[in-house]
């Protein structure tokens, strides 16, 4: 569906809201404000929720601009917006626990069923051609297989842009693994586009690539990548206290912990809008689904709204499972 058609659909939907008939189980859904966070997966999630709540349940939904700390602070202190669809818990762990304990905020469903995933990845074609390399540690025994772009005599590990938290964790793990002594250099990518472009260039040429990346993202929807496990389990305390700290003096190897990503609502929302909360408690999707949506969005330079409609068209088995028969029929009629 083109952007123009999407706009037409929304215009029709907006006019239909003048006489909604989608209340579920005789309960009415009122006005709901949802944070449209400024990263892609959360932005699309906000639009998916808006469309379901409006078309399936007759809610009146307003999206407001959001980001992790401003949205959390506003919800915690002012009770607005009502919903943060995709809140990465680690970023606000302590104040969120306090807000929940003191009855201001409610943590609902885990929107990403497999959580936020970080790690060191290689292209799938490389993994298939080198089945003996099944871990990060084994990859580091073969710097010759991952020639650095500026010095092919050494291996290269692609890292995050300067200033990102993942640059810190990658550098500390690089030292913990003694990767330099094993013949590797860290490859600075300069920007998110540079990191993404390094994967795209490797794929276009069928070349090896080893480095940090995360999900859900468009890149992992566009390119078939394999995350290499570390040969140790997760040590969350060490990850937080050392691996995530600039220049940690004695980093030890640990796998990346899976990030908890939940939908959070205000206490007022939980008490006064059981229709919307009931939907939000059920709604969840996996990284493979989100990766595919974001890849389509990037390839088509589409908006969050367009990507949400594309999701409804192409993943009926996912969103259909969230809804009652009546609500599902109502959403289907809007597609």
Residue 174 sits in the same domain as residue 122: yes
Specify the pLDDT at position 6.
40
Please tell me whether residues 105 and 141 are part of one structural domain. Answer: no
| Domain assignment of residue 227, yes or no | yes
Starting at the edge strand found earlier in the chain, the sheet holding 31-37 runs 60-66, 31-37, 83-88, 261-266, 105-110
Per DSSP, what are the bridge partners of residue 31?
60
The Cβ-side half-sphere exposure at 240, using a 13 Å CA radius, reads 8
The tokens describing 252, both together, are: 């030890």
- pLDDT tens track for 103-144: 999 999 899 999 999 999 999 999 999 999 999 999 999 999
Rounded CA gap, 154 and 216, in Å?
31
Does residue 21 lie in a domain region? no
Q: What is the CATH number of the domain that holds 270?
A: 3.40.190.10
Specify if 201 maps to a domain.
Answer: yes
Tell me the DSSP string of 34-71. EEEESSHHHHHHHHHHHHIIIIIH--EEEEEEE-HHHH
Query: How far from the centroid of its chain's Cα atoms is residue 315's Cα?
Result: 17
Percent helix, strand and coil across the chain, each rounded to 5? 50, 20, 30
Check whether 170 has a pLDDT greater than 70. yes
Which of 176, 208, 242 marks a domain boundary? 242
What is the band of 3 on the pLDDT scale with cuts at 50, 70, 90? very low
94 and 35 co-located in one domain: yes
Which residues partner with 88 through β-bridges? 261
Based on the structure, what is the number of domains in the chain? Answer: 2
Range of the domain at 81: 31-115+260-334
Q: pLDDT, tens digit, for every residue of 223-254?
A: 999 999 999 999 999 998 999 999 999 999 99
Mean per-residue pLDDT of the chain:
91
User: Are residue 164 and residue 80 in the same domain, yes or no?
Assistant: no
Same domain, yes or no: 128 and 237? yes
Which of 242, 274, 306 corresponds to the end of one domain? 242
Backbone φ and ψ of 23, nearest 5°: -60, 145
Q: What is the mean pLDDT of residues 86-99?
A: 90
Together in a domain, 87 and 145:
no
The stretch 93-101 carries a mean pLDDT of 94
Per the model's pLDDT, the better-predicted residue between 27 and 90 turns out to be 90
Beta bridge partners of 32: 61
pLDDT at residue 27, as a whole number: 65
8-state DSSP, 243: I
18 in a domain, yes or no?
no
Contact 161, 190 (CB under 8 A): yes
- Say how far apart CA 258 and CA 307 lie, in whole Å: 26
Nearest-angstrom CA–CA distance, 208 and 197: 14
CATH code of the domain containing 137: 3.40.190.100
Instruction: Choose the final residue of a domain: 242, 277, 309.
Output: 242
Using one digit for the tens of pLDDT, what is the confidence trace for 49-60?
999 999 999 999
Residues 236 and 126 in one domain: yes
Say which residue the tokens 């004695």 belong to: 250
């Amino acid at each position: 569906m083109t952007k123009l058609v999407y706009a037409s659909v929304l215009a029709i939907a907006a006019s239909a809201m003048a006489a909604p008939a989608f209340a579920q189980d005789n309960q009415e859904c009122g006005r709901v404000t949802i944070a449209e966070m400024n990263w892609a997966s959360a932005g699309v999630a906000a639009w998916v929720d808006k469309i379901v709540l409006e078309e399936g349940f007759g809610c009146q939904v307003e999206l407001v601009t959001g980001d992790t700390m401003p949205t959390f602070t506003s919800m915690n202190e002012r009770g607005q917006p009502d919903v943060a669809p995709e809140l990465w818990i680690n970023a606000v762990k302590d104040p969120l626990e306090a807000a929940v304990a003191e009855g201001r905020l409610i943590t609902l469903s885990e929107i990403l069923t497999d959580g936020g995933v970080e790690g060191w990845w290689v292209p799938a074609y490389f993994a298939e051609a080198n089945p003996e390399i099944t871990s990060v540690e084994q990859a580091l025994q073969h710097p010759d297989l991952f020639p650095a772009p500026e010095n092919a005599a050494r291996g290269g590990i692609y890292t995050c842009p300067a200033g990102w938290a993942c640059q810190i964790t990658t550098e500390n793990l690089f030292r913990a693994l003694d990767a330099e002594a094993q013949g590797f250099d860290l490859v600075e990518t300069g920007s998110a586009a540079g990191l993404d472009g390094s994967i795209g260039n490797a794929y276009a040429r069928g070349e090896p690539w080893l480095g940090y990346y995360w999900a859900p993202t468009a890149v992992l929807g566009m390119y078939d990548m394999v995350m290499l496990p570390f040969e140790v389990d997760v040590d969350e305390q060490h990850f937080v206290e050392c691996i995530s700290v600039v220049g940690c003096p004695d980093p030890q190897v640990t796998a990346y912990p899976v990030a908890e990503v939940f939908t959070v609502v205000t206490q007022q929302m939980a008490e006064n809008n059981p229709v919307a909360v009931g939907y939000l408690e059920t709604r969840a999707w996996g990284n493979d689904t989100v990766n595919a949506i974001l890849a389509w969005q990037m390839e088509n330079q589409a908006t969050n709204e367009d990507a949400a409609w594309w999701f409804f068209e192409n993943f009926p088995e996912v969103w259909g499972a969230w809804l009652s028969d009546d609500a599902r029929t109502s959403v289907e009629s809007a597609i």
